[in-house]
Amino acid sequence: MLYNSHQQGLIIERCWLIYELVTDKLVPPDEFHIRYPSLVEFALTAGYFKLLVEIGGSGHSIHIYEEYEFVEYKLVLKAYVYILFDKAKNGIIRADSLPHHRIDYKGHRLAHFPNHLHDEMGRICSFSGRIEDFVRRCCTISE
Amino acid sequence: MKMSKEEFIEKISKLELSQDQTISNISEELQQYEKKYKLRSEIFYKLIAGTPAEDTPDFISWSMCYRSYFRMMQSKFSVEEITAGAL
């Protein structure tokens, strides 16, 4: 097994946070609740979490990919990509932590480098790196 | 229907974590990327991961998937080698 029980506990907590966010803010279909434990199982063995789920009645879907690593006793995101897709599966907004952008579209330094967001116009914007902020933004778009 | 945290923990605690099954799933995912881009994962990772060309949704996910596969294979084979040595 790749992870000890403490590390597994941290992954489970992270998965719970994502579950709460998705269910509270984005209205996933009923089968999401049934299949979610298998996604957690995958995360516990693979060290990364992946989710693609339709949200609300608008045909939008959200894609969450997170890769975990452990620094001392803490879980940190080694990499992530969050995407909101439209009905035709075209990306609307995307957040990730690749270090290839240093400034936003206005020429200002990214507030939380390397975290950034590609907005609806494809422009680079500052992003906190917090999944809560991404989900909040998805809510406003998919409403 | 939404699970409570207690239900969630209970379901998770009943899971039988299968490393082999996960490796199989990740292999399938890697093969899908390889087929789509006509490129082996090892080559993709050497040439594209860590460069600006990686900045697409598929490539970011492919990198994560490949690193995970690599970690799991390292973990699996080290265990097997230890076992083989003990016998």
Nearest to B57 among A12, A78, A83 (CB): A83
Which residues does chain B have within 8 Å of residue A63's beta carbon, measured at their own beta carbons?
Answer: 57
What confidence category does residue A59 fall into, taking pLDDT thresholds of 50, 70 and 90?
confident
Q: Per the structure block, which two tokens stand in for A98?
A: 């690749």
What does the alpha-carbon distance between residue B65 and residue B76 come to, in Å, rounded to a whole number? 16
Contact (CB<8Å) A37/B71: no
- Chain B nearest-CA distance from A129, in A, is 15
Quick check: A81 contacting B, CB < 8 Å?
Answer: yes
Instruction: Calculate mean pLDDT across residues A104-129.
Output: 96
Looking at the DSSP assignment, which residues form a beta bridge with residue A67?
A: A48, A79
Contact (CB<8Å) B60/A40: no
Q: What is the dihedral of CA A73, B71, A45, A8, to 10 degrees?
A: 0
Q: Are B5 and A16 in contact (CB under 8 A)?
A: yes
Query: Which residues contact residue A12 at a Cβ distance below 8 angstroms, ignoring those fewer than 6 apart?
Result: A40, A44, B9, B12
Q: Which amino acid is at B79?
A: V
Query: Rounded to the nearest 5°, which phi and psi values hold at A141?
Result: -75, -40
Is 70 exceeded by the pLDDT of residue B12? yes
Most distant CA pair in chain B: distance in Å? 50
Query: Domain-by-domain residue ranges, chain A?
Result: 5-142
Mean residue pLDDT across chain B: 87
What confidence category does residue B43 fall into, taking pLDDT thresholds of 50, 70 and 90?
very high
Quick check: A17 contacting B, CB < 8 Å?
Answer: no
**Strands (E) located in B3-69:** none
Query: Domain-by-domain residue ranges, chain B?
Result: 19-86
What does the alpha-carbon distance between residue A100 and residue A90 come to, in Å, rounded to a whole number? 22
What integer pLDDT is reported at residue A105 of this predicted model? 95
From the list A43, A51, A131, A53, the residue with the least C-alpha distance to A95 is A131
Contact (CB<8Å) B17/A19: no
Nearest to B71 among A36, A47, A63 (CB): A47
